[in-house]
Amino acid sequence: VICCTCVGAGDRRMNKLQFQSILIDESMQATEPECMVPVVLGAKQLILVGDHCQLGPIVMCKKAARAGLSQSLFERLVVLGIRPFRLEVQYRMHPELSRFPSNFFYEGSLQNGVCADERRLSKIDFPWPINEKPMFFYVTQGQEEIAGSGTSYLNRTEAANVE
C-alpha cells in the first residue's frame, strides 16, 4: 500500500510500480487532471471515494473553471450515468450531529453505526451548557480584520474565546 496525493503519484519513482487498484479519497475535491495522474499508472481498478453533496474542486483560474476544470471526475462519471455506490452508515459523529446532514442532504437515510454513549464528551475544561447535547452555538462579539497577508480575515475576539 502506497499513500500519496494524486499529484504525488506522478513522481518518477512510481513509474516502475504496478498497481492492482487505485483509491482516490475525497475525489470530489480533485480536478479531473489531478485524478488522471494516478490513473495513467495503469491499475485495473479505480475507486473514487467522495460525497457529491460536499465541495467540488477549488479552481482559482476563471478561464480554467469555464473550461470545465471545476468538475471532478467523480461528478462527470455520475453525470454520464455511472451510478455511485453510497455508504449509508456513518461511524464518525455523534448521532445528534448526523441528524442534520442525514435530513438535509440524504433524505433521512443516513444511519448511525455508533450510539450516543460511544460519543460521550470527556475531559472538557469548559462549562458545557447541556451535557446531553454534543453541540452548541457560542455567540461572540468582535470584528473581522484583514490578516497581515492581505488574503484572509481574522477575528481576534473569537480566537481568544476558543483558546
Global pTM reads: 0.69
C-alpha cell at 96: 445528534
pLDDT tens string 53-66: 778 899 999 999 99
Under the banding of pLDDT at 50, 70 and 90, the label for residue 70 is: very high
pLDDT tens string 105-154: 889 999 999 998 888 777 777 777 887 788 888 788 889 999 888 888 99
Residue 61, CB half-sphere, CA atoms under 13 Å: how many? 6
CB 138 within 8 A of CB 123: no
Q: Domains along the chain? A: 1-86 (3.40.50.300)
Each residue of 56-84: b (16+ CB within 10 Å) or e? bbebeeeeeeeeebbbbbbbeeeeeeeee
